[in-house]
Each structure stands twice: as C-alpha cells, then as structure tokens.
Chain A
Amino acid sequence: MFKNIGFRLIFVVAITSLIIIGVSAYFSVQSQSKELISEVERHANQLSETVVASTRFDMTLNQRDRIQQIIKSIGTQKHIRDVRILNKVGEIIYSSDSSNINKMVDKNAESCFVCHAADQPLEHLSMTERTRIFKVHPDSNRVLGIITPIYNEKSCWQAECHAHDSDQKVLGVLDVSISLSEVDKSILNSEWKILFFAIFAIVGVGLVIAFFIRRWVSNPVHDLLHATQQVSQGNLNYAIKEMSDDEIGKLAFSFNNMTKKLSEARLQLFQSDKMASLGRLAAGVAHEINNPLTGVLTYSSFLLKRTKDNPEFQEDLKVIVRETIRSREIVKSLLDFARQSVPKKIEADINEIIIKAVSVIDNQLNINKVKIEKQIDNNLPKITVDSNQMEQVFINLFVNACDAIGNVGGTITVSTQKISLTPFGTVQIKKATCRKRHSLIDNDYKIDGMPALKVKVVSEGKEGIIHLDPVYGKHRNNFDIGFKISKDAKYVCPDCNNSLIQENKTCPKCGAPILAFEISGEGIYEVCSSENSNWERWESVDSAGLREFIEIKVKDTGSGINNEDLPKIFDPFFSTKGQKGNGLGLAVIWGIIDNHNGTITVNSDLGKGTTFTIRIPFIQQR
C-alpha cells in the first residue's frame, strides 16, 4: 500500500495537517484555559475582598459568631469549596467547614508556603503569588485557592478586645478555595471540540486530497501504466483516450504520439519488408520461369520459322509464340512491380484488350459455368495504355471473379463507358513541390491509399507534420499533430523550411492563410491552412474543365468480400484464397492502374457479389 503514490501523498498531507492542527489546537486550548482560570481568579479575588470587607466591622467588634456565620453562609455557595481565615500561627479561626475550626495548618501547606518559604515571612504578595491550583486528592477536581492577607490596622489594635498588637503587620489570611470543576469541564469540553474538529479537518483534507489525487494523478497514471503494458505486449494501436490538460495529460499525449509513430514505423518496416521479400520472390520467380520459358519460346519461334509453308501449323504456333511472349512480359512486370518500373504505353482499344483477356480464360469460365456478359461502348476512343499490363489486369480480375463465384455458376458483367468528371473531387496530386523544388509528397503516409501532401507546421516553438488529402476536393486532411496550431503558425517545407504560405492572400471562407503547392506543369494548388475550412482551389485544373475517363466495371455474382477485408485487398500478399493464391494479383493490378494515372475502387456485398471500377484518363498526364 505504501508503494502507491496516491497513498504516500495522502499520508504526507495528513501528517502535515495533523501537526499543524494539533499544535494550533494545543495553543488554543492553553490560552482558553488560561483565560478561564484568570477569570476564576478575578472572581475569587473579588470574593475574598468582599469577605474581608464584610467581616471587617464584625472583626473590630470581635463578634466571632457573626463572622463565622458570614463565612459559613458564603461557603455554602456553589463552587466555593472552602472559605477560612487563619491566624498568624496557622490556626484556623473561621471556616465554612465548622469541623476544621481551631485546627492547625502546617506552615508548609499551600496556603502558608508562599509567604513562609523564605526565612522572613513576606508581607506583600502579587496576585499570582496569592493564587494556587491544587488537588485535594489525586483524583478529585482541581481547586483554585486564593489567599488574602489581612493587614493590621489602627482599628484592630485599638479595638476593645485588644486581640492584636500594634506592631504586627499581618494578622492572618483569608483563604478561599474555589472548585474548578466547572472550568475544567468547559476546558475539557473545548478540548473535545477541538479534537473533533481536528479529526474532522484531517479526514476532510485527506478525502479531498485523495479525491483529486485519484482524479489527477492515480487514474491517469494507472491509464498510462495500462497503456505501457498494452504496448509492451505488442498492441501498438492502443491509445489513451481521456487526457487532462496538465503534465500527465501531456505525457499521455506524447505517449500516444510515440506509440503512433512506433506503429507507423513498424508498419513501414513491415511494408518495406514485404516489398523486399516480394522483390526477392519476383527475382527468383523470374529466373526460374524464364529458363523454361526460353525453351518454349525458342522452340516455338523456331518451328514457326521452319513451317513457313504450312499455314495450318503457322496459326497455332503463332498463338503459342504470342502467349509465351505475353508470359515473358508478365514475368517482367512482376520484376517491374518490385522495381516500380514504367509501363510501355501505346495507343490501344480497351474493348479489344478486354475481348482478348476474355478469350484467354474462356476455358476456365466454361469449366466453372460462368457466363460473361459484355456491355461494351463501341464508340470508345483509343487510349494510351500498356496493353499487356491492362490485359493482365482484366485476366486477374476475371480469374478472381471466377474464384469468388466458385462451382455454383454465375455471371461476370464487364462494362465499358466514357465518363466525364469534374476535376474537383477526382484529380490526384502526384507531384507537388515547394518553391525550392523539394517534393512534398509523403510516400510513408497515405490517405485512402494515396501518398499525402506533407507540410511542416511551426507553432509557438512546437513543430509537426500535417498531411493533406492528395485528391483535389476530397479534403480528408489530417491535422492531428498533438498541439494546437496558433493563428500565426508557420507552414513550411519539411526539407528547406521555406514558407508555403501564399502571400497577400487569405482564405475567402475563413480568412486564414493559404498554402500554395507547385504542381509540376499544372500550376499551383491552393488550400486553406485552417483545419475547419474546406476551401481549396487548383485553377489550371479547374480551367481545363471536365476530365474524361474510360470507366470499366467488372461485376461478379460471387461470394463478395468482407467489409473488414476491403481496405486490405490491394495490399501485397493479402489473400483470402489460402493456399491457392499468393496475394499478389490485386497489388499488381493496383500498381498497373496507378502507373496509368487511373484509379481502381471496389464495392462488395457479402453473398451478392463484388464490383471493381477502374477509371483511366483519356489523356495520360505527367
């Protein structure tokens, strides 16, 4: 328990307040009881004076019975324990308690000791010297005694009784003792009160401190601890949700940031590892397959040459040679995929490529009882594509559709059409630079699969990278950098720290600064720097008007794809086919379409089928 930081803090606070409250309570009780005692003293003194004054006359007349009567009647008063008058030698002359009369009091007794302690008896006493507090029995109440010396006066020695000589100074003492039981009771009472208050205060303070420590320290620290345990167990996606705005909150935030970075780095490592193994695989496959392929290709082309006068063979052999050359190109594109090489584009008719692809897998379609429906727009213009790669795309898509349909039979519908789209919301920024021509494309951070634009933000001494959506008009920006961006923040190129802010211009929607990116050969792309504004403009693309695409849809009536799997299907090595596939097909397709500046998207209804939509721009840009 003592290893708990909250408990330690509470303990220290409680001890501290215990000491402070204890000390102050002690002094307050002290001063209070002093006050009360002195009040009682004053009262006793007054009483003594009264007794002396009221008996004085009777003394001079030596009317002893009257004096005894007065003293007795005073002694009956509550709180007054004892009133007695002693003579010079310590004999009790008068007493409220009649049984004590004529008894001798030892000179060392409390009432005498004050004056008789010294060799020569004192004659004048101060107030404090006259009072004393004592207990009759160790367990009885405290008693305050006050002695009042009765001095010799002219009237005393001139009185007829001649009881006193004129040279005597002190005739005797009046000793009044008052019970302090009431006072003690009230002191005890206030002591209890203060103790109660002290306990209440300590417990109260403890509880309040405990509450806030729990809220501000223990709980966040516990969350942090839990998070670190999660991370150490490998769950790098764990994030601390509730964060305060204090140091622990900042710690939690930077922890979240750290794990995020770590998980991104791990993902990158994983991705590059995948790409590296893909490269090795591709190279290995290329070498292994190319040798037997060389046999097929050389012999078939050799035969083709040798049988020039036999048209019957020529046709068949041409098919073999053509398809072997296609295999060669596929193997090469596998290497190209690993090397991200450029496609060999020529003017081609997409419809023809599709028809050729269908004819290649016709057999497989027949075996699987799959019908293929072609809804082809015959007025499509030719576009510049790598026809081998595109054929491979369609063959892969058809084979996938076939696999999804399985043995139950079904339909693949492939449709082509010309579409026009506004640039807003469709054009992807693939190359963006700062004024010094540093690339601002972040290949390590992707939004919807496309490398995002990166911008360094410097705000109040902190800096971070924000990511902007590379698709013009989509605005799925990520401003999550872990601190608030102030109004006068700087937006700079991460490489050269040159400002990206467009001068003399602000956002027409919110007035915030505008960021400008140079897009090679396509003017300047502008976007509002504020997270809350969605203003962006790319004049040269806007002014070019509608962009024309060929849209190809491949729809099947197969089993469909899980929603969870959908975002992953274009990843290399992601496969739902188990042993049957290597998970490269769709990754290769994605790469090919991307190389043609096109897009490929997928829609799927589980149990109903899947539709792949490919869009390729008419004009191959950049």
Chain B
Amino acid sequence: MKKHTDILVIDDEQVIVDAVVKICALDNYTVDVALNTKTGLEKIANNHYPIIISDIMMPDGDGFEILEAVKSKKEDSAVIMATGFSTVENAVNSLYNGAVSFIPKPFTVDELLSTVYRVNNFQKIVEKQKVLTQQQKNDEILFVACPTKYLRLGYSTWMFQEREGTVLVGMCDIYMKTIDSIQQIELLNSEEEIAQGIACASFICANDRNHRILAPLSGRIVEVNETIKNDPNLIEKDPYFDGWIYRIIPANYDYEIKYLTPCSSDRL
C-alpha cells in the first residue's frame, strides 16, 4: 500500500532539503526527499504527492522536467518551483508551464510556510473539484467566472488591456480561495514601476502568513485601487472587476503576454 506523504522536495543541496523537512514539520506536513532529478522523477512515478517543491537547476536536470512529468501523470500534484537562480524568466516560465507557485531562494520559514499553505489549499480545491459531479458544480458556485480577454500569470494574477492602452491588474479568484481573509494589504504607490514575475504587493493574513503577489506584467503604475486598501475583502468578492489592484501603463506588453495564459481556458 502506498503510504501517504504530503510533500516531495527535490533539491541537490542537502541543507535545503533538511531545512524544508524541518520547516514543513512545523505545520505537520509529511515530507519525502529526492536529492536529484532522477530520484525525484522515480518517486513521482511511484507515489502520489499532492505538493512537490522542486529546485530549477540541478546537476542532472532541471525543474522543468519535473513539471513535465507531473503534467503527464493522471493524479494532480501542485508544483512549487524554488530556485536561487531567481531570474524573472525562471519565475514566469515555471508559472506558464503549470507550476502553481514560485518561491525564490533564499526564503524564510514564513515565506515557505505561506506558499505551502496556499498551494495545499489549491490542491484541496482541485481534489474537491474532481469528486463533484457536473450538477454539483453548477449548483455550488465555486468560482467567480473569469471574463474573456483576461490573461493570467499562473494561477495568481490577471491582467486586462483596457481600450485606452492601460492595463488593469488584479487577483485570480482561485488564488483568493487559497488564502485566508486578508488582514492587511501592502501596495505600491502610483508612479512606481512593477516588473513581470516580481512581487508587486503583499497580503498579510492570519498566522503571520505573508503572501507576495507577482505582477503579471511590467509597467508603471498610474492608479492604485484605493477602495481595496480599506476593504481588502472586495478583492475576494469581486476579483475581476471592482477588486482590481493597479492600473498600469505596460512597458513591454507584446513581449510579456506570451508568458500569460488566457484566463477562461484551462479551467480546473
């Protein structure tokens, strides 16, 4: 009988693997480890792990192979990419290729736990979704419908180009489902620049969980949605319209949208 393990961590650095094991134990997760891509792929083939934390650069392969292997499996696993080579390309690319989250190294205990918490919730939603029948899906409005023409970065943020050429940026509903209600919200100011794949806001929730939000597109902020500062829950209630976060003037629109996925496609 397969024994159930919550997390598989794949990293060629023993110290990081050990640290992840220890940290995840704080939130009572069981962790399996693999010190290279090969063992990682073997373990994924033989077991089911709801969550996989994988390094991107390893001596015998890279994290994108892990992503591919997970995608081709029937059972769903949520992958968190972790790398010290935290370039924007890596972050954006792994999210585009199906990773649920990206965590740059070095990370703190809280950062890792927040990410794992979020991804764990994501995975629960996915599992729950699977057992629902079509009827039940229709009855229980789990998701807020994502409008067409919206593009999303992984399962975290969306962007929508307005007629004037400006771009609205906001949170995907699924992301909001994976975090607790927001206690405090930290936003950038107008006129500041944001870059695709780099944190542009953070939500502080219960238990000191600090969720950093990656910008879906680079550009200069021209307007910040002031209402969500006072009422962060608006984001959860109406993530695609009134709950928008920034209005930006994109800097590199054509280049960057190729890393974004149409919002309405590939629904869970």
Which residues of chain A have a CB within 8 Å of any CB of chain B?
Answer: 283, 286-299, 301-302, 304-305, 321, 324-325, 328, 332, 335, 339, 341-342, 345, 620
Q: Are B15 and A292 in contact (CB under 8 A)?
A: yes
Segment from B19-27, B43-51, B148-156, B225-233 that makes contact with A: B19-27
- On chain B, the residues within 8 Å of A341 by CB distance are 195, 198
Q: Are A291 and B108 in contact (CB under 8 A)?
A: no
Decide yes or no whether B106 CB sits under 8 A from chain A: yes
Q: Are A294 and B105 in contact (CB under 8 A)?
A: yes
Decide yes or no whether B143 CB sits under 8 A from chain A: no
- On chain B, the residues within 8 Å of A335 by CB distance are 86-87
Q: Are B19 and A342 in contact (CB under 8 A)?
A: no
Q: Are A342 and B193 in contact (CB under 8 A)?
A: yes
- On chain A, the residues within 8 Å of B23 by CB distance are 298, 302
CB distance from A84 to the nearest CB of B (A): 123
**In the complex where A302-B23, A342-B193, A342-B195 touch, is A294 in contact with B109 (Cβ < 8 A)?**
no
Taken residue by residue from 90 to 122, chain B's Cβ proximity to chain A (1 for < 8 Å, 0 otherwise) reads as 000000000000000111111010000000000
- Can you identify 30 A-B contacts, CB atoms within 8 angstroms? A283-B85, A283-B87, A286-B84, A288-B84, A290-B85, A290-B86, A291-B15, A291-B84, A291-B105, A293-B105, A293-B106, A294-B13, A294-B16, A294-B19, A294-B105, A294-B106, A295-B15, A297-B107, A297-B108, A298-B20, A298-B22, A298-B23, A301-B110, A302-B23, A304-B109, A305-B109, A321-B108, A328-B106, A341-B198, A342-B195
Decide yes or no whether B57 CB sits under 8 A from chain A: yes
Partner of B19 from the list A299, A305, A325, A345 (CB cut-off 8 Å) is: A299
Decide yes or no whether B192 CB sits under 8 A from chain A: yes
- On chain A, the residues within 8 Å of B16 by CB distance are 291, 294-295, 298
Alpha-carbon gap, A291 to B86, bound state (A): 11
Q: Are A298 and B107 in contact (CB under 8 A)?
A: yes
Q: Which residue of A lies closest to B15 (CB)?
A: A295
CB distance from A265 to the nearest CB of B (A): 27
- On chain A, the residues within 8 Å of B198 by CB distance are 341
- On chain B, the residues within 8 Å of A283 by CB distance are 85, 87
- On chain A, the residues within 8 Å of B108 by CB distance are 297-298, 301, 321, 325
Q: Are B106 and A298 in contact (CB under 8 A)?
A: yes
CB distance from B19 to the nearest CB of A (A): 4
**In the complex where A298-B20, A302-B22 touch, is A287 in contact with B15 (Cβ < 8 A)?**
no
**In the complex where A294-B13, A295-B19, A342-B195 touch, is A286 in contact with B106 (Cβ < 8 A)?**
no
**In the complex where A292-B15, A295-B15, A295-B19 touch, is A302 in contact with B109 (Cβ < 8 A)?**
yes
Partner of A290 from the list B20, B26, B84, B109 (CB cut-off 8 Å) is: B84
CB distance from A163 to the nearest CB of B (A): 136
Q: Are A297 and B22 in contact (CB under 8 A)?
A: no
* 9 closest residue pairs by CB, A with B: A290-B84, A298-B19, A294-B106, A295-B15, A301-B109, A293-B106, A301-B108, A297-B106, A342-B193
Q: Are A287 and B22 in contact (CB under 8 A)?
A: no
Alpha-carbon gap, A297 to B112, bound state (A): 11
Taken residue by residue from 6 to 39, chain B's Cβ proximity to chain A (1 for < 8 Å, 0 otherwise) reads as 0000000101100110110010000000000000
Q: Are A302 and B85 in contact (CB under 8 A)?
A: no
- On chain B, the residues within 8 Å of A332 by CB distance are 86
CB distance from B267 to the nearest CB of A (A): 34
- On chain A, the residues within 8 Å of B110 by CB distance are 301
Partner of B105 from the list A290, A301, A302 (CB cut-off 8 Å) is: A290
- On chain B, the residues within 8 Å of A295 by CB distance are 13, 15-16, 19, 106
- On chain B, the residues within 8 Å of A301 by CB distance are 108-110
- On chain B, the residues within 8 Å of A345 by CB distance are 192
**In the complex where A283-B85, A283-B87 touch, is A294 in contact with B107 (Cβ < 8 A)?**
yes
Q: Are B84 and A294 in contact (CB under 8 A)?
A: yes
Q: Are A324 and B106 in contact (CB under 8 A)?
A: yes
**In the complex where A291-B16, A335-B87 touch, is A296 in contact with B106 (Cβ < 8 A)?**
yes
Q: Are B13 and A291 in contact (CB under 8 A)?
A: yes
CB distance from B85 to the nearest CB of A (A): 5
- On chain A, the residues within 8 Å of B86 by CB distance are 286, 290, 332, 335
CB distance from A346 to the nearest CB of B (A): 9
Alpha-carbon gap, A286 to B56, bound state (A): 14
Partner of A298 from the list B57, B85, B112, B191 (CB cut-off 8 Å) is: B112
- On chain B, the residues within 8 Å of A286 by CB distance are 84-86
Q: Are B15 and A302 in contact (CB under 8 A)?
A: no
Alpha-carbon gap, A321 to B87, bound state (A): 23
Most buried by B among A283, A288, A302: A302
Alpha-carbon gap, A339 to B105, bound state (A): 18
- On chain A, the residues within 8 Å of B106 by CB distance are 290, 293-298, 324, 328
- In residues 52-99 of chain B, which contact A (Cβ within 8 Å)? 57, 83-88
- On chain B, the residues within 8 Å of A287 by CB distance are 57, 83-85
- On chain A, the residues within 8 Å of B26 by CB distance are 302, 305
Alpha-carbon gap, A324 to B86, bound state (A): 17
Alpha-carbon gap, A12 to B239, bound state (A): 93
Alpha-carbon gap, A90 to B195, bound state (A): 133
- On chain B, the residues within 8 Å of A297 by CB distance are 106-108
Taken residue by residue from 202 to 227, chain B's Cβ proximity to chain A (1 for < 8 Å, 0 otherwise) reads as 00000000000000000000000000
Alpha-carbon gap, A292 to B106, bound state (A): 8
Knowing that A339-B87, A345-B192 touch, tell me 7 more A-B residue pairs with CB under 8 angstroms: A287-B57, A287-B83, A291-B13, A298-B108, A302-B22, A304-B109, A620-B191
Alpha-carbon gap, A296 to B192, bound state (A): 32
- On chain A, the residues within 8 Å of B22 by CB distance are 298-299, 302
- On chain B, the residues within 8 Å of A289 by CB distance are 84
Alpha-carbon gap, A339 to B193, bound state (A): 14
Q: Which residue of B lies closest to A622 (CB)?
A: B191
- On chain B, the residues within 8 Å of A288 by CB distance are 84
**In the complex where A291-B13, A297-B107, A328-B106 touch, is A302 in contact with B87 (Cβ < 8 A)?**
no
- On chain A, the residues within 8 Å of B88 by CB distance are 339
CB distance from A298 to the nearest CB of B (A): 4
- On chain A, the residues within 8 Å of B20 by CB distance are 298
CB distance from A317 to the nearest CB of B (A): 11
Most buried by A among B15, B105, B112: B105
Alpha-carbon gap, A325 to B105, bound state (A): 11
Taken residue by residue from 165 to 195, chain B's Cβ proximity to chain A (1 for < 8 Å, 0 otherwise) reads as 0000000000000000000000000011101
CB distance from A510 to the nearest CB of B (A): 39
CB distance from A71 to the nearest CB of B (A): 126
Alpha-carbon gap, A321 to B57, bound state (A): 25
Q: Which residue of A lies closest to B218 (CB)?
A: A342
CB distance from B92 to the nearest CB of A (A): 13
Alpha-carbon gap, A173 to B16, bound state (A): 144
Alpha-carbon gap, A106 to B191, bound state (A): 132
Q: Which residue of B lies closest to A347 (CB)?
A: B189
Alpha-carbon gap, A287 to B84, bound state (A): 5
Most buried by A among B19, B20, B112: B19
Alpha-carbon gap, A321 to B192, bound state (A): 28
Alpha-carbon gap, A299 to B13, bound state (A): 14
Alpha-carbon gap, A287 to B90, bound state (A): 12
Alpha-carbon gap, A288 to B112, bound state (A): 20
Alpha-carbon gap, A324 to B111, bound state (A): 14
Alpha-carbon gap, A299 to B14, bound state (A): 13
CB distance from A110 to the nearest CB of B (A): 113
CB distance from A274 to the nearest CB of B (A): 20
Q: Which residue of B lies closest to A321 (CB)?
A: B108
Alpha-carbon gap, A296 to B15, bound state (A): 9
CB distance from B242 to the nearest CB of A (A): 27
- On chain B, the residues within 8 Å of A302 by CB distance are 19, 22-23, 26, 109
